[in-house]
Structure formats: C-alpha cells, structure tokens
Amino acid sequence: MTYTTKNAEETIKFAEKIGKLLKPNDIIAYKGSMGAGKTTFTIGLAKGMGLDVWVSSPTFALVYEYEGDIPLCHFDMYRINTLDELYSTGFFDYLDTGRVLAIEWSENIEETLPKNHITIDIQINEGDSRTITVLGDERFENIGD
Ligand code: ADP
Ligand code: MG
C-alpha cells in the first residue's frame, strides 16, 4: 500500500499505526535516501509498539536497542559494505530473538536480508511531502484508510 504524508508529524502518526501491528521477529527494511524520514518513521514505529523511548539515529553506533514487551533494534547500515562489517553490528545474533528489527539503508545488506521482511520505501516529494510504500505483508494493506 502507498500513503502520502505532508509533514513529519503525519509520518510519525502513520508509522504508529504500523508499529501497533508489529509482531516479534518482524523485520522492517527501509529504503530511501538521506533525509527521507527513516529515523522519523522509527519514532512513530516505537510509539506504536508501546515503547516509551527517545529514538535517535544510530548512524555512529550502528544499532540502538530499545527494551519493551517486544524489544526494538534500530540499525543504520549506511557504512556497512562487507559481511564482516555486518557481523560486527550483531545483526545475525538479533535475528529470531523476538525483537523487531528496523533497518535503515537496508539496500546495503540486500543479499543478506531474510526473505520475509517488510519493505518501507520513503520517497521525497516536493517540500515536506513524502510517499511511503509498504510492501511484503498483507497486515498493512488497509492501514491508510
Ligand atoms: P533519514 O533517517 O531517512 O535520513 P530523518 O528522519 O533523519 O531521515 O530526517 C527526515 C527529516 O525530514 C526530518 O528533519 C523531518 O522532520 C523532515 N521531514 C519533513 N517532512 C517529512 C515527512 N513528511 N516525513 C518525514 N520526515 C519529514
Ligand atoms: Mg536516519
């Protein structure tokens, strides 16, 4: 499904709806350029998951982990180019541990990404408008209504 937002608040609200429907071991693979709103979306995702946390970009840490009923792991793969580098983030240790994994720059680990992931593609339109496409799970088909 595709949904267009007019500002960051709308993106957070939309992401909250997705977050409410997430289940343990779900993998969110973000696509979209710098400044598209991947980190902003994750703020809403965490809110929807019921996590009372301050989400910030894991650019330098590579991964931030947030505890909760369903914990959330937020990755930034921007600097990840090799399998060794991916191992160093702990990515493989986090798979199938019940956590939700939200992965910025999933483009960089495309070959390694488990097949059953949810894609969230955020495209920048004019101004503050963003077109968000959610693919890979029928749970989200009618979420924009
Ligand atoms: P990314 O993680 O994709 O690099 P960020 O979420 O860090 O992007 O930054 C997106 C920036 O764009 C934020 O400053 C946010 O406030 C702004 N923004 C403006 N309009 C939107 C929108 N519709 N959705 C999401 N972010 C938006
Ligand atoms: Mg980011």
Distant-in-sequence, close-in-space partners of 73: CB < 8 Å, separation ≥ 6: 63, 64, 65, 66, 94, 99, 100, 101, 102
pLDDT digits over 19-32, tens only?
Answer: 999 999 999 999 99
Nearest CA to ligand 1 atom 5: 37
Nearest CA to ligand 1 atom 23: 7
Mean pLDDT of 5-31: 98
pLDDT digits over 64-121, tens only?
Answer: 999 999 999 999 999 999 999 999 999 999 999 999 999 999 999 999 999 999 999 9
Mutate to test the pocket of ligand 1, among 40, 54, 106 (most ligand atoms within 8 A of CB): 40
pLDDT band at 144 (very low <50, low <70, confident <90, very high): confident
Give 44 Cα–ligand 2 centroid separation in angstroms.
13
| In contact, 18 and 140? CB cutoff 8 Å | yes
Reported pTM:
0.98
pLDDT band at 8 (very low <50, low <70, confident <90, very high): very high
- Does ligand 1 have an atom closer than 6 angstroms to the CB of 19? no
Give 117 Cα–ligand 1 centroid separation in angstroms.
22
| In contact, 137 and 23? CB cutoff 8 Å | no
| In contact, 135 and 44? CB cutoff 8 Å | no
- Does ligand 1 have an atom closer than 6 angstroms to the CB of 39? yes
Pairing of strands 72-76, 63-66: antiparallel
Distant-in-sequence, close-in-space partners of 9: CB < 8 Å, separation ≥ 6: none
Give 68 Cα–ligand 1 centroid separation in angstroms.
25
pLDDT band at 124 (very low <50, low <70, confident <90, very high): very high
Closest CA to 77 of 95, 93, 101: 101
